[in-house]
Amino acid sequence: MRLLASLLVSVILATLYASASRAQSNAAPGSSPAPVLRVIPLGPNGRPAVTPGPNQVVVRYAGQLLDVERGYVFFTTGDGFKLDPNAKIVDYTTKETVSQLPTSRMYADASFDKTTGRIVELAVSKRVIKPAQDYDNRQAYEQVQKFAVSQSTLTPNTDQRLPSGYQGPPTTGKAVAVTFVVQVPPSTPLTDSVYITTDVANWDPRAILMTRIDALHYRATTSFASGTYFRYKYDRGNFRTIEIGRDGLDDPPRTFSVRESDALRRDDIVYHWKDESLGQGIQNIGPGSIPTPYNPSGILNLPTPPAGIAPYPVKTLPPGIGPAPPNGVRGPAASR
Amino acid sequence: MTFKLLSGALFALALSFLSAFAVVAQPAPALAPGAAATSSPPAAAPEATPTVNPYVMPTAAPFSRVNLDADSIDFYWNRYVIEANGHVRVQMSDGTLVTGDTFSTDLRLNRFLVAGHVHIAAKDVQYDGAAFAENMDDGRGYFLPVFDEPDRWTFLSGNYAVPYLGREIPYDAFMFPDTNGTAVFLNATAAVIWPRDALLFKGTEVHVLGFKAPGGQIYFNFSNNINFRQNSLVGAAADVGYPFAGGRWWYSTLHLRYDGGPNNIGTYGAFEQHFAWDNAYAVASVNPFTQFSKQYNLLASTKIGPKFQLDTFQQINLSQYGWTTPANAAWFGSFTATTALHNSFTKVVYNTYAASIANSVPPVDPDHPSSVELDWIGFDHRIGLFPLTFRLRSGGAVYNDTYGLGSFAGTPYTNLWSTWLGGTLYTTSIKLFKDTYLVGSFDMQRTFYSLPHYLNTTTTTGSISRLIGTKAAFSVTYQNVNAGDYAGSQKLAIYPPSTPVNPATGLPDTGYAAFRGLATSRTMSYLLSYTPRPAMALSLNYQHYTDFPPPIGVISGRPPNYFNADLKVRLTPQLSVEVGRPYYFNWYGAKWAPYMLIQFGP
């Protein structure tokens, strides 16, 4: 009787030791011992978790798969978890065992044995597995993260940073109303519209229409996700009329970082347009517009005088010479 | 008793050791066929790198191109996401080859991910693993190798021979872009990616309204370099472009265009070639190439240093059947050099025109008309604490006209000189009372000509605006433009009394009888703008013109009344439309402007 009792104690001890060894070999260093209480949370879809074995504590985590390879399951978090030799791989919807290993991009609901840190059941789906509202998948991840297997000791990464360009605190990507107010050159025609062209809109010259608020100012409000970093320029509908710098050169585009806020405002000044007549004006010296002492192009509404009336030196080409361009416009072409 | 207990304990200890050993020695489970299958034998784990946590200045990955092959490649245009599945093969321009089951890239974030039975073959090294992610902006490669156990490695600046073991990896490094609810724009069998710049797909099928149409080779440029968007084609009523070839610095596009209305060209084809660099671009086009009358264009610009820029525009108009010898051709060329100075800049513009550069006997203008112009433009300067700012300008030009000599009062001339001096004075916004502001500007220029006359031009503008909350604004603007050509005793010779016939009515137009070179144009503008939400902007603009000399029919001048409504609405997160059309109030029968603006954009 005593012998039987001692054998029973020995078996129990051995089992406990083996379990402890397994946990030690799989769990990350410093992980706490398995809790005594049996915690069986509801799964992401609200269904009961896998039936735990004796002394088995199960926690579930749902995520997208990177790979299932050599006995490990990799999630897009970058964590690789050991798959238990007796683990079941089932279809998430039908609960039937699947014959093929899951592939990349599939979604999986993994049940972990908290004692061993291994995945004991993997329910897979090609559709997104949305955790139930009352299930905290993030908290579940925090519980299973320590089971991730990694040969090397984790070391901090000091040069992690946000995506290039954006400078500022972390953002949530919420919509932020950004108002642009621009002062334009006094020479801007009153009938012209002013636009913002931006790399976010693939430099469409009519990307954002501005509304005139007085003779010298235009305004536009548009929304961007916080954290957006973009380049932009002002124009009057095409690239021939885009802004140039105060020094007359093509400046690099302006830049803007959308920080976390309810609304933002940017005030800019356009000093010159690319097509601006700076002084005498860039003359079109094509036929009919050659500069003359009478400078007819300088006076609005001056009619084209009848041919032969002196002293208007109007030039016309002989018939058949110099075909007109498709839209009758000579000189720098307008943008599409 | 003691012995029995000891023996039991020893037995238990032995069992536990055996059990523990069994766990350690247990091979990877083969749960299903192919569980341990890899494309190549696993490579040995490298020696741990000596540096535990180096800080290396982020540098871009050392490759400028990524070639992608797979069983299927999907492109989500509106998300700029590419996904590929099946026998994925990613060849980087530095020679590194990554293979795997699946591939994803978010082109805006400039990173890609290969997952599933990944094999990396770089210079002198080969690894197997579960996933590989490359952040191309920072030159960071993240890898999950699988040997006996998985690991986490980081590669820096494309050096795949030196992995940094165990380094913390950004939480989203291996996340697939979420494309749920996003439509595939095209499928392809191969793609070339120039990071941050462009894409080229081969063997494409474009998804159109639920159908798949073969698209051949298609190029997309998504560079933030604005120079790629320069173009040399004149506007058309409708234009559809097919970018069929391209690279990191160039692309070629065929255009199918339509022009009706007064030009009445109909449907035609055009070709445009783009080159773009950080500080330079060149765009050439043939437009149309399917018609007898063709236009060859070249638009180019380069910035040489921070203070100097060269621009040119060249255009050849010719009559040509197909690609045969042109029946005739005319050339226009323009060259501009801009130099930034201290608080000012100068611009030199040279224009030339040749009416016949092919097959004209005799040549129409053996000495081409040309002009050289030098402009000096000062910066804006505020006057003390006053809300006034001024800007000065000056310049000179010489015009050479050999296309028939001009004459003035019986004296022939070939060259004409002019010099000018001008300035602009304008106010900042002056608050009159709550939400009501006044701005004004005054511009004046006098131009002297080598022949005895001078030209005065003044422009006066005043505007009162009222902001109505944050969403609307109303403004009234008055503008007066005076242009006076003063030739002293010669004014009657230059501007003789004339009574042209109005072609629209067939009646003499007496408005010019009193015209002696002094013209005035007055504009009253009433504008209401309304932006109820960021995705919508409405502008209503009415203008009334009072001009002297008055317009003659539809051949000169502008209609006295003008109204324009312009509406831009965002239809979807990726698509907006702008609609607008001016109205002329039945000016000589003209009610609506010939063209209605309907433009779709991102």
For position A5, what pLDDT does the model report?
57
pLDDT band at B441 (very low <50, low <70, confident <90, very high): very high
Could you report the per-residue pLDDT of B401-411, keeping only the tens digit for each? Answer: 644 455 666 66
pLDDT band at A19 (very low <50, low <70, confident <90, very high): very low
Nearest chain B residue to A71, by CA: B28
Could you report the per-residue pLDDT of B44-99, keeping only the tens digit for each? Answer: 444 544 344 444 444 555 678 999 999 999 999 888 899 999 999 999 998 999 99
Nearest chain B residue to A190, by CA: B525
Please give the average per-residue pLDDT across A301-316, as a whole number: 33
Closest Cβ opposite residue B12 in set A13, A212, A333: A13
* Listed range (A15-19, B478-482, B580-584) with the worst mean pLDDT: A15-19
For position B554, what pLDDT does the model report?
63
Residue for token digits 């005498």? A280
Could you report the per-residue pLDDT of B84-118, keeping only the tens digit for each? Answer: 999 999 999 989 999 999 999 999 888 999 999 99
For position A245, what pLDDT does the model report?
94
Beta bridge partners of B500: none
Distance separating alpha carbons of residues B253 and B241, to the nearest angstrom: 6
CB contact (8 A) between residue A249 and residue B345: yes
Could you report the per-residue pLDDT of B166-219, keeping only the tens digit for each? Answer: 888 888 899 999 888 888 999 999 999 999 889 999 999 999 888 898 988 999
CB contact (8 A) between residue A80 and residue B500: no
CA dihedral B352, B355, B358, B364 (to 10 degrees): -120
- Please tell me the distance in Å from B185's CA to the nearest CA on chain A: 17
Closest Cβ opposite residue A280 in set B100, B317, B418: B418
DSSP B535-554: TEEEEEEEEEEEEESPPBTT
Burial code (b: 16+ CB inside 10 Å, e: under 16) for A263-294 equals ebeeebebbbbbbbebbbbbbbbbbebbbbbb
What tokens appear for B466 in the block?
A: 């009222």
Supply the mean pLDDT for chain B.
81
Nearest chain B residue to A162, by CA: B170
Q: What angle separates helix A2-26 from helix B2-25, to the nearest 10 degrees?
A: 30
Distance separating alpha carbons of residues B333 and B331, to the nearest angstrom: 7
Closest Cβ opposite residue B34 in set A66, A101, A247: A101
What tokens appear for A71 in the block?
A: 């006995």
Higher pLDDT, B150 or A28: B150
Number of H helices, E strands in chain B: 2, 35
Please give the average per-residue pLDDT across B419-448, as a whole number: 90
Q: What pairing do the DSSP bridges indicate for beta strands B430-433 and B454-468?
A: unpaired
* Listed range (A17-31, A167-181, A313-327) with the worst mean pLDDT: A313-327
For position B69, what pLDDT does the model report?
96
Could you report the per-residue pLDDT of A39-93, keeping only the tens digit for each? Answer: 444 455 555 455 555 556 678 899 999 999 899 999 999 999 999 998 889 999 8
Could you report the per-residue pLDDT of B221-256, keeping only the tens digit for each? Answer: 988 899 999 988 877 778 888 999 999 999 999 999
For position A190, what pLDDT does the model report?
79
Closest Cβ opposite residue A151 in set B149, B287, B330: B149
CB contact (8 A) between residue B328 and residue A322: yes
Residue for token digits 């590669």? B155
**Global ipTM:** 0.79
CA dihedral A38, A44, A45, A50 (to 10 degrees): -40
Does residue A25 surpass a pLDDT of 60?
Answer: no
Distance separating alpha carbons of residues A331 and B577, to the nearest angstrom: 29
Q: Contacts of residue A91 in chain B, CB cutoff 8 Å?
A: none
